[in-house]
Amino acid sequence: VARIFGHALEDSHSKSGLIHSLSVCISLLDPKRSAIVSPLMHSFRHQHMYEPSIPVNSETINAMLPKLGEWVSFAESCDLLMLLNVSSDEKILPTTYGELRPPLGKHRLKIVEFIAVLLRIGNEAAEKELVNTGTIQRVIDLFFEYPYNNALHHHVGSIILSCLESKNDAIVDHLLQECDLIGKFLQTDKNPVLSGDSNQPTLPAAGKCAPRVGNIGHITRISNKILQLGSSNSRIQACIQENSEWNEWQTNVLQERNAVENVYRWACGNGIVVRPNRKSLKE
């Protein structure tokens, strides 16, 4: 396991090698995931359905942990945080709404997926390593830097959920305070259009009206989850009660949005069972 994970990082210049190596590591951590054709669908199911986590051999996780915290030069080796850095990537991808400078790429998306799976295990040592290296904070930043990457948003949503459900108060504090998750949610929801900041990787087309960002739905769903978990978790409750802007937003904006988006209250959402008559059955 250590050799596979080490190979993924040490040979990080080979994106395909990194992707395949991390796929093996993901399968070792979550065998059920490999049985589902789409990893994204697995992530979606995890966020909307309760599925008990599969016990993982502690030796498997311990073999991966040393590599997570390596802070060495990029020329010699590379840790996950360095691989998630997009500032040195000069690729440009034109899109219908503008440009990606650079695109996120499959290799970075696979890293985020791996982190999501690793956090689902609930291993305290892994959580501590990801907090100390700033990896969770970097992943949260990617959520806002790439506001149209739905696959990324699902994986980050899974990461946030795992942090909130953790029994470790330190990772909850890190998410809500150091990463300022709620503050970033409020800022994005208040100004939900694509920024023209040239330092950001996602840019709107020049001379056109900036489009609405595509992660508001995820922000709404995660915010509802924060409220739900806060009712039974005193640590989360304390963090959100301290934020007066959040309290006002969830009362005036979130509740109204939930009411509007509640399909069970839509006239067209009321299911009507049409029973076939006996004559048609005989025919």
CA distance 230 to 223: 10
CA distance 227 to 13: 42
**Confidence (pLDDT) at 265:** 80
Q: Pick 281 or 69 by higher pLDDT.
A: 69
244-280: string of b/e by CB count within 10 Å (b at 16+)?
eebeebbeeebeebeeeeeeeeeeeeeeeeeeeeeee
pTM value is 0.82
Write down how long the chain is: 283
Mean pLDDT, rounded, for 257-278 = 68
Domain range list for the chain: 2-259
pLDDT digits (tens, 9 = 90+) for 182-228: 999 999 999 999 999 999 999 999 988 999 999 999 999 999 999 99
Mean pLDDT, rounded, for 150-161 = 96
pLDDT digits (tens, 9 = 90+) for 68-118: 555 333 323 346 678 898 988 999 999 999 999 999 999 999 999 989 998
**Confidence (pLDDT) at 39:** 53
* Residues 104 and 152 sit within 8 Å (Cβ to Cβ): yes
Distances (CA, A) of 204 to 139, 150, 184: 22, 18, 20
Amino acid at position 87, single letter? S
pLDDT band, residue 276 (cuts 50/70/90)? very low
Residue 120: φ, ψ to 5° = -65, -25
